[in-house]
C-alpha cells in the first residue's frame, strides 16, 4: 500500500476508533432522557397525566408481541433511509434525496416483480429487491455526477430529484401501469415476489432481516475494507485524500450511489413486504426522517439501527398514547425534535453536565 495512503488511513482509523467511544453512547442516552424529561414537563403543563402518557407509549411500542411487531414494521424503512444518509455523510456528502430514491426503487421493484411473475420466488425476490436498489442508485447518480463534475451542491440537486422521482413515478404509473379503479396504484405483485410474513396479520416480514444484514455489511465495509476507509478519508479531509493519491470525486460518486442503493431497498421492502403493489404517495416522509435517524445514530451503521428502533417505537407508541391517553401526536413530534437537538449539540450536553 502507498505509504502516504497508509499514514492517512491509520489516522482516520484512529479518529473513528476514538469517535466510537463509550462517551458518545452516554451523550446520546442523556440526550434521549433529556428529551423525554422536557416532554414530560410539556405533557404536565398541557394538563395530561405523564405516567399514563408514557405507560401508553411503552405499551403501544413494546407491550406485547403484536405491538413490538408494529414497532419493527415502522423501524424497517427508517433503517434503510437512515443508513442511506449516514453513508453519504461518511464521504462528506449530505444526500437529502433518499425520499425520491426510495420511491423510484419501490416503483421499479413493483414493475420488475409484475413483469417477471413467471419466475420462481427464489429468483424473483432477490431480482426485485436488487432492481429497486439499483434504481435508487441510478437516481442518486445524477446529483453525485453533478457534484463531482460541476460542483453543484448535492443538497440542492438531490432534493430537486425528490420531486422529479416522485412525480415521474406517478406519471409513469398513470400512463402505463395503473390498475383499473380510482386509486393510482399498480396491480398486486405475484405471491412469489412477496416477503414472508413473520407474525400473522402484522405485516412484519423478513425485510427486518434484510435490513439487519445490510447494516452489518455496511459496518464491516467501513471498518474492514480499504474502500470504506478511503471514503472516510474523503469525508474527513478531501485535500489529505488527494495528497494520499485517492480520487475524491470517484469516492464521492461511489458513496452517493451506494447511499441511493440502500434508499432504493427501502422502497423495495415496502412494496414486497407491506403494500404488495406500488401506490403513489405511500411514504409519510421516511426519506426525511432518515436524516434524523442518521444524526441520532451518529452516522454509524449500528447506531442507525438503534436510532431507527427508537423512532419506530415513538411512532407506534405515539399512536397508542394518542388513542388511550388522549395526548396530541404533536407532542411526540416535539420529543423527536428535542432528541435530535440534544444529540446534534453534544457541546450543550457537556456544558449541562458540568453545571
Q: Where are the domains of the chain?
A: 3-9+67-325
| Matching CATH number, 3-9+67-325, of 3.30.70, 1.10.10, 3.40.50, 1.10.3470 | 1.10.3470
Percent share of the chain, pLDDT over 70: 90
Q: Which residues of 13-40 are buried (b: 16+ CB within 10 A; e: fewer)?
A: eeebeeeeeeebeebbebbbebbbeebb
Please say if the pLDDT value at position 191 is more than 60.
yes
Residue 161 confidence (pLDDT): 95
Name 321's Cβ contacts closer than 8 Å, sequence gap at least 6. Answer: 53, 54, 56, 57, 60, 327, 332
Higher pLDDT, 207 or 8: 207
Specify whether the CB–CB gap between 243 and 4 falls below 8 A: yes
Band the pLDDT of 241: cuts 50, 70, 90.
confident
Distance of CA 337 to the CA centre of its chain: 17
Phi, psi of 206 (to 5 degrees): -65, 0
- With cell 436498489, the residue in question is 133
- With cell 423478513, the residue in question is 206
Give per-residue pLDDT as tens, 130-168. Answer: 999 999 999 999 999 999 999 899 999 999 999 999 999
Residue 176 confidence (pLDDT): 94
Give per-residue pLDDT as tens, 82-139. Answer: 999 999 999 999 999 999 999 999 999 999 999 999 999 999 999 999 999 999 999 9
CA angle centred on 238, ends 137 and 14, rounded to 5°: 95
Residue 253 confidence (pLDDT): 94
Give per-residue pLDDT as tens, 198-232. Answer: 998 899 999 999 999 999 999 999 999 999 999 99
Specify whether the CB–CB gap between 279 and 188 falls below 8 A: no
User: Helix or strand or coil: residue 279?
Assistant: strand
Please say if the pLDDT value at position 2 is more than 60.
no
Specify whether the CB–CB gap between 291 and 85 falls below 8 A: yes
Amino acid at each position: 500500500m502507498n505509504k502516504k495512503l497508509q499514514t492517512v488511513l491509520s489516522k482516520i482509523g484512529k479518529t473513528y476508533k476514538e469517535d466510537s467511544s463509550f462517551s458518545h453512547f452516554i451523550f446520546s442516552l442523556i440526550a434521549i432522557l433529556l428529551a423525554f424529561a422536557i416532554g414530560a414537563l410539556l405533557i404536565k403543563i398541557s394538563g395530561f397525566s405523564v405516567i399514563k402518557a408514557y405507560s401508553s407509549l411503552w405499551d403501544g411500542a413494546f407491550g406485547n408481541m403484536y405491538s413490538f411487531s408494529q414497532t419493527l414494521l415502522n423501524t424497517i424503512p427508517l433503517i434503510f433511509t437512515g443508513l442511506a444518509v449516514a453513508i453519504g455523510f461518511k464521504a462528506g456528502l449530505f444526500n437529502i434525496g433518499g425520499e425520491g430514491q426510495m420511491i423510484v426503487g419501490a416503483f421499479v421493484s413493483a414493475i420488475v416483480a409484475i413483469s417477471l411473475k413467471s419466475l420462481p420466488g427464489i429468483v424473483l425476490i432477490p431480482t426485485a429487491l436488487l432492481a429497486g436498489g439499483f434504481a435508487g442508485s441510478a437516481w442518486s447518480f445524477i446529483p453525485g455526477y453533478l457534484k463531482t463534475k460541476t460542483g453543484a451542491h448535492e443538497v440542492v440537486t438531490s432534493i430537486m430529484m425528490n420531486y422529479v422521482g416522485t412525480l415521474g413515478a406517478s406519471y409513469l404509473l398513470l400512463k402505463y401501469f395503473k390498475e383499473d379503479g380510482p386509486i393510482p396504484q399498480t396491480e398486486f405483485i405475484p405471491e412469489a415476489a412477496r416477503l414472508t410474513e413473520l407474525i400473522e396479520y402484522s405485516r412484519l416480514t423478513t425485510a427486518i432481516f434484510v435490513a439487519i444484514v445490510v447494516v452489518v455489511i455496511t459496518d464491516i465495509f467501513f471498518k474492514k475494507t480499504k474502500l470504506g476507509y478511503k471514503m472516510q478519508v474523503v469525508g474527513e479531509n478531501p485535500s489529505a485524500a488527494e495528497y494520499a493519491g485517492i480520487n475524491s470525486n470517484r469516492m464521492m460518486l461511489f458513496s452517493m450511489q451506494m447511499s441511493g442503493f440502500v434508499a432504493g431497498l427501502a422502497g423495495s421492502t415496502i412494496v414486497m413486504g407491506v403494500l404488495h403493489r406500488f401506490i403513489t404517495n405511500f411514504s409519510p416522509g421516511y426519506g426525511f426522517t432518515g436524516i434524523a435517524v442518521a444524526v441520532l445514530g451518529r452516522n454509524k451503521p449500528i447506531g442507525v439501527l438503534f436510532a431507527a428502533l427508537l423512532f419506530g417505537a415513538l411512532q407506534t407508541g405515539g399512536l397508542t398514547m394518542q388513542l388511550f391517553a388522549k395526548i396530541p401526536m404533536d407532542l411526540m413530534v416535539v420529543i423527536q425534535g428535542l432528541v435530535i437537538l440534544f444529540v446534534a449539540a453534544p457541546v450543550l450536553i457537556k456544558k449541562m453536565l458540568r453545571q
